[in-house]
Structure 1
């Protein structure tokens, strides 16, 4: 599974043997593509190891620009990168580390492959360096179209309760490289992996990951603009199971994840552990009479089960929605795979609180509940969010990433009181509403000033909402068209709701809904 583009056998041999923090990295010419959180962590790590580091990025924050200068990494900011800079060609890198934002068809990536330079991602680099502080931590790897962050946090909280030193890392916001460099070290790293990061793993000799346990929570349409096709996206996600040593956790309600496990090349002895909202079979996690049960990690799997918690208890901590219960089951399976006792899992769930921007209840105004699920960045996540409520004024829209929203609108049209469309990809949404909900009150926010997008959307939604409705921000699209990221979008929604609750704007909508289509 090595990189077929490496043409220098001597260099290939050196790279294959760079499998430890204590290997000789000195003088290695490394190009780092991207200078965001991940790119900076890569550059900082490699400089510490003695490599010659050249960072290329179209955009760099002032903070990272200053820090790269301080640590001694070279930086090139060519703006929009449409061709290979001469400076990079002169640098002649021996290795390139690609940040997750760089697509496989990016000009720099294509040039790197043609030139015979090895390409790694930050996850492979972190795996090779995981022995910096004593015994390497066990890795638990989590991916899926939705629920990754919550499941990562749930798993980490359960493991923490058992007394092990554990850190959530990866796509959750903390680079894995920062975690492996922590001077105190960790017993376990619970790593959220995006499809972008998974695309680059297990390609090179010496850099193959061997996680303790792994899960793909679910699969739905997403990121086809990056991967190019549904099959490429699913192939990237399936890589999470490769070389798993103990437990491959999969979603019994999603046959795609079952197929991934069945086709995965795992270490002998690794078990397949299923979860869903039904009664569990042997080696499964599921629900019996409102009780979440483990029938996988006990001796008498055929005739007994271990109780973990109840649906009623999950409801009290905001984890009662079906998709949240599924995340709890997956997290519990991962925690049990590493030896966490059921009583510890039960206690961890009692004190767990879901993050902001994930079905966060912001306020109730005039008997209308305002809910922030800005993290619903694709139709699959928006579907789970909409399913949680009976009567919804839906704020929807953003960057749809080439994904079809027609089925989503059709499925939930009966529960909608009205809809407010935001974002740049409005045509597909408008057309879907015309087909499946032609009489639904439909509004559009067409604000040139992006700071006014969310206040306008909240005013429109509040003006049409009736007592008992839920005004739900579940965009089904990415946020970068009008906001910094999904968190920025969610904060602006919450701020607009609070301004409304404080009487900052009592207006009804000043723009009429789009007329019903004939």
Structure 2
């Protein structure tokens, strides 16, 4: 018999991918196709080329600067305005892995092509989770999702953690790709990761890449992005993934029973607790409000008979954080921060100084008793509903791209405190019809204009004609902005410019 040892069996492609769970794993030569070249797609390509992978980026249209930088980092670019079929170069490339940018619809023809050929599909979040040990000890992740309030909650939580002395950073869908955060040379103790339903769709699908957050929250759930997910059930299922494998605290909204059901159904690490938050009186293991005081009844020894004061509604109003939906975000962020050990006094100090982002219920002017408020970030009916509830008498500026969602209940729920409605955007007919059904006598103005500046000038002029002292002119579109504006920020900025143009410089005599 021969003493020559039998050769080791060759590692299968699936085994190789399952074993890629560290920055120090062998990524060299791995053929990866990256779909999309936005902020996320570029961060994926940049990361993979740094690891030594062979990278092909496929996109319908490339930003000139990013296209140039791809050549610098050593990635290849295929630009094809018609991606209904895979480009010839993608077929030749023979990808072992595809990393999908969030903008690619789950049933995009390229993704169907990949699934038929059993090419594994990852998202940027899974890739970042596998590579989180690049800079020393991996940071803990606190994950945040919800139809509305994600960015405010992420910023609040990260600010609270930083004020407590932790090296913390907000990242993910908030604008800083999570791959950039895990590669930051200073390293972090904890990342607060905002996750969209698009990103959540792609997580926890592959061996070796399952996320396990320290704490997690789904703030709320309502119809949104149904054009992407195809149904509310699919949208809800994506959001529910935020709780998978949570280690310490699953934070949920007591006013939104669907989020509690998500927690009950989630597979979590043994010992993880369910922590509720709401604007009512908290029970044991909850955060809530008692006599105008925000309280923690979860993270203290005697939570059955005691509570810890965090701040007051009066203090939040003085800081511009008094709208009910913002107070809910404050409670959720406080729960996440307390789960990580942040002291109540630190939370109070942060809430005294914290200010909301631009275009989030941002007061522009008060003139003649009329308040002008920019909530352009209210890009769906759920967010607009919360915004409308914050004001007693409203001239409502609404409309845009409705993304397949219904507005019937939104309109029906607010007709009693609307002075008038100004409609903008391509999908305004749906809002107009609902207003006709539920408030046929309510004044409704429709803007017919071509440029972003003209749209908002006309909208503001209509609003000014009907607004009375005590009213709020509220831009809360309940719709996306890309039909007439670059994004919600441009829509809000154009609104503010039109208001200031109409009312004149505040310093004028």
TM-score bin, normalised by smaller chain: over 0.9
Q: How does 1:34-433 map to 2 (within 5 A)?
A: 34-433=36-435
1:436 positional shift: 0.8
User: Counterpart in 2 of 1:445?
Assistant: 447
> 1:131 & 1:21 partners in 2: Cα distance?
6
> 1:96 & 1:286 partners in 2: Cα distance?
44
1:9 positional shift: 7.3
> 1:246 & 1:503 partners in 2: Cα distance?
52
Greater shift in the superposed pair: 436-445 or 177-186? 436-445
Structure 2 unmatched ranges of 5 or more = 1-9
CA contact (8 A) 2:246 2:272 kept: yes
User: Counterpart in 2 of 1:488?
Assistant: 490
> 1:310 & 1:448 partners in 2: Cα distance?
46
Greater shift in the superposed pair: 365-374 or 386-395? 365-374
For residues 128-170 of structure 1, the C-alpha deviation after alignment (integer angstroms, 9 at most, x for no partner) is 0100000010100000011000000111111111000100001
User: Counterpart in 2 of 1:508?
Assistant: none
1:439 positional shift: 1.0
> 1:80 & 1:341 partners in 2: Cα distance?
54
CA contact (8 A) 2:453 2:498 kept: no
For residues 222-261 of structure 1, the C-alpha deviation after alignment (integer angstroms, 9 at most, x for no partner) is 1111000010000000000000000000011111000000
> 1:168 & 1:498 partners in 2: Cα distance?
32
User: Counterpart in 1 of 2:456?
Assistant: 454
> 2:408 & 2:381 partners in 1: Cα distance?
9
> 1:313 & 1:59 partners in 2: Cα distance?
48
For residues 84-137 of structure 1, the C-alpha deviation after alignment (integer angstroms, 9 at most, x for no partner) is 211111111111011111111101111111111110000000000100000010
1:468 positional shift: 1.6
CA RMSD in angstroms, aligned pairs only: 1.2
SS at 2:12's partner residue? helix
> 2:188 & 2:73 partners in 1: Cα distance?
26
Greater shift in the superposed pair: 459-468 or 349-358? 459-468
1:80 positional shift: 3.6
- Name the count of aligned residue pairs: 497
> 1:333 & 1:54 partners in 2: Cα distance?
42
Q: Following superposition, which runs of at least 4 residues in structure 1 exceed 6 angstroms of deviation?
A: none
Taking structure 1 as reference, are residues 276 and 503 closer, same or farther at Cα in structure 2, changes over 3 Å only? closer
SS at 2:137's partner residue? coil
User: Counterpart in 1 of 2:7?
Assistant: none
Q: How does 1:5-24 map to 2 (within 5 A)?
A: 10-24=12-26
SS at 2:241's partner residue? helix
For residues 16-58 of structure 1, the C-alpha deviation after alignment (integer angstroms, 9 at most, x for no partner) is 0100111111111111111011111111111111111111111
For residues 479-505 of structure 1, the C-alpha deviation after alignment (integer angstroms, 9 at most, x for no partner) is 11111111111111111112112279x
1:449 positional shift: 2.7
> 1:327 & 1:318 partners in 2: Cα distance?
13
SS at 1:244's partner residue? coil
> 1:399 & 1:80 partners in 2: Cα distance?
23
Q: TM-score, normalised by structure 2?
A: 0.96
Structure 1 unmatched ranges of 5 or more = 1-7, 505-518
> 1:398 & 1:80 partners in 2: Cα distance?
26
For residues 407-460 of structure 1, the C-alpha deviation after alignment (integer angstroms, 9 at most, x for no partner) is 111111111111111111122111111101111111111212344212221121
User: Counterpart in 1 of 2:6?
Assistant: none
> 1:421 & 1:299 partners in 2: Cα distance?
53
> 2:464 & 2:29 partners in 1: Cα distance?
60
CA contact (8 A) 2:370 2:469 kept: yes
> 1:80 & 1:310 partners in 2: Cα distance?
55
For residues 308-331 of structure 1, the C-alpha deviation after alignment (integer angstroms, 9 at most, x for no partner) is 000000001111111111111100
1:388 positional shift: 0.5
1:75 positional shift: 1.0
CA contact (8 A) 2:168 2:191 kept: yes
User: Counterpart in 2 of 1:4?
Assistant: none
